[in-house]
């Protein structure tokens, strides 16, 4: 990775936040496999590392995996878990799922395993005493920063969650106290879909905002 660039990042004309949030997709099939320029990768990781974290603990780590053998082994494991999920589906669900590609592990340019280290900032993490998972939440905030920055840079990101945490620990020599949170497939793409894959394939449709907004209490769900 290149050293920090002394000059500030020049905003990309397509990097408007709302535009990026709308364009962001969970990419599976469209990776081109082209390399990610070092300066682009650094900006994306820097964005992730600027996320908020409970007690400023920054409890995330990013393992950059380019090795083909490692990625092939991970993919084999993921396909086994895919089969396990498929085995529990009936009829229409099984048929719909069979058409959905769930990962681009070897086609993407880079795998990024994101992990959570609960010991970071310990023993007294400010804001975590009442909610043990608050550190885990911080890691997810970093992932979303990474995802949006990658989108602004024209890269695709696909979050793979068809894996067992212990398998990934073993694969990447992750200590037992550290928890794998995500495997992200990252890289240039040939195209970005307008609609989420799962909606396009008829797995599930997006809900209107009104369905998830409540006023004053959870029980009252009146759209104004």
Near a second copy in 50-89, by CB under 8 A: 50-52, 54-58, 60-67, 70, 81, 84-85, 88-89
Tokens for 221, please give them. 């769900």
Among 178, 185, 186, 189, binds a second copy (CB under 8 A): 178
Tell me the site size for a second copy, rule CB under 8 A: 102
Bridge-partner residues for 188, per DSSP? Answer: 155
State how far the Cα of 35 lies from the Cα of 70, in Å rounded to an integer: 18
- Name residues whose C-beta falls within 8 Å of residue 177's C-beta, 6 or more positions apart in sequence: 117, 118, 119
Select 19 or 76, whichever has its Cβ closest to a second copy: 19
Residue 101-120 contact track with a second copy, rule CB under 8 A, x = bound: -x----------x-x-----
Q: Using the rule CB under 8 A, is 7 a contact of a second copy?
A: no
Stretch of 28-36, 186-194, 216-224 contacting a second copy, by CB under 8 A: 216-224
Stretch that binds a second copy, among 29-37, 130-138, 186-194 (CB under 8 A): 130-138
Q: Are 136 and 116 in contact (CB under 8 A)?
A: yes
- Should residue 93 be labelled a site residue for a second copy when binding is judged by CB under 8 A? yes
CB 218, min distance to a second copy, A = 4
Q: Does 140 engage in binding with a second copy (CB under 8 A)?
A: yes
Distance of CA 11 to the CA centre of its chain: 23
Which CB atom, from 32 or from 82, has the smaller least distance to a second copy? 82
User: What is the number of residues in the chain?
Assistant: 224
Stretch of 29-37, 169-177, 186-194 contacting a second copy, by CB under 8 A:
169-177
Min CB(223)–a second copy separation in Å: 7
Do the bridges between strand 178-188 and strand 110-117 make them parallel or antiparallel, or are there none, so unpaired?
Answer: antiparallel
**Of residues 148-167, which lie at the interface with a second copy (CB under 8 A)?**
148-149, 152, 159, 161-165
Question: Does 206 participate in binding a second copy (rule CB under 8 A)?
Answer: yes
CA–CA gap between residue 29 and residue 6 (Å, rounded): 36
Please identify which residue in 100, 106, 118, 193 interacts with a second copy, judged by CB under 8 A: 100
99 binding a second copy? (CB under 8 A)? no
User: Residue 137: is it exposed, middle or buried by C-beta count within 10 angstroms (0-12/13-18/19+)?
Assistant: middle
Q: Residue 60 burial by CB count (10 A; 0-12/13-18/19+): exposed, middle or buried?
A: buried
Whole-angstrom distance, CA of residue 59 vs CA of residue 143: 12
3-class secondary-structure state, position 183: strand
């Amino acid at each position: 990775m290149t050293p920090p660039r002394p000059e500030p990042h020049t905003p990309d004309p397509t990097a408007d936040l709302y535009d990026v949030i709308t364009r962001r997709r969970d990419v599976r099939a469209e990776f081109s496999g082209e390399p990610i320029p070092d300066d682009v990768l650094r900006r994306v990781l820097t964005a992730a590392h600027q996320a908020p974290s409970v007690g400023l603990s920054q409890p995330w780590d990013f393992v950059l995996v380019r090795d083909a053998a490692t990625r092939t082994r991970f993919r084999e494991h993921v396909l086994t878990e895919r089969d396990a999920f498929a085995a529990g589906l009936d009829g229409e669900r099984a048929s719909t799922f069979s058409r959905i590609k769930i990962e681009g592990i070897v086609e993407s340019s880079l795998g990024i395993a994101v992990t959570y280290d609960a010991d970071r900032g310990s023993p007294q993490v400010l804001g975590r005493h009442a909610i043990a998972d608050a550190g885990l939440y911080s890691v997810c905030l970093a992932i979303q920063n990474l995802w949006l920055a990658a989108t602004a840079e024209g890269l695709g990101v696909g979050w793979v969650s068809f894996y067992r945490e212990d398998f990934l620990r073993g694969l990447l020599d992750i200590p037992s106290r550290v928890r794998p949170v995500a495997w992200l497939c990252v890289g240039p793409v040939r195209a970005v879909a307008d609609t989420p894959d799962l909606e396009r394939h008829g797995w599930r449709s997006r809900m209107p905002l009104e369905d998830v907004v409540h006023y004053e209490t959870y029980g009252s769900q009146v759209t104004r």
